[in-house]
Amino acid sequence: MLASVPPNLVQSIRAFRVGELQEEAARLGQHFLYAHCIAGATKQQVMGIISESFLFPKGVGKNFDGLRETLTETMAKAGEQPGFLVVLEQLPNAQKFDKEARETLLDVFRDAADYWADKKVPFRVFYSFE
């Protein structure tokens, strides 16, 4: 299913379905991280949804730098990683979570994809906007 998708990227979910991506992660033995973000109206709320959905320890990933560190160094210190398939569904378009905030968030995930690419670990992120 992901044969034509590079192992380290951040892209729109487009034709993929969440259930199929979850099954593919299981088939590949990779971590499946999913966050449905529509309820977030502010950066803090969106970050909280992602942190809680990804089962991060309380207080981790409350800002962009903390999220970047958790997705990279913290996960790397946890041991050998088989790969990651991440879905960020319905990122909000709100006054306090605008286009700039969405782009900064996606840049954090792009940085993580680059980090894991250097380690030859797949890190694919699929997202959609509300």
Domain ranges of the chain: 8-129
- Per CATH, the homologous superfamily of domain 8-129 is Barstar-like (3.30.370.10)
Amino acid of residue 104:
T
Helix, strand, coil % (nearest 5) of the chain? 45, 25, 35
Query: Distances in Å between the alpha carbon of 73 and those of 69, 76, 99?
Result: 5, 5, 27
Token pair recorded at residue 115: 């980090």
Residues of the chain with pLDDT under 70: none
What pLDDT score was predicted for residue 1? 85
Instruction: Tell me what pLDDT residue 66 has.
Output: 93
- For the question of whether the overall pTM of this predicted structure is more than 0.85, the answer is yes
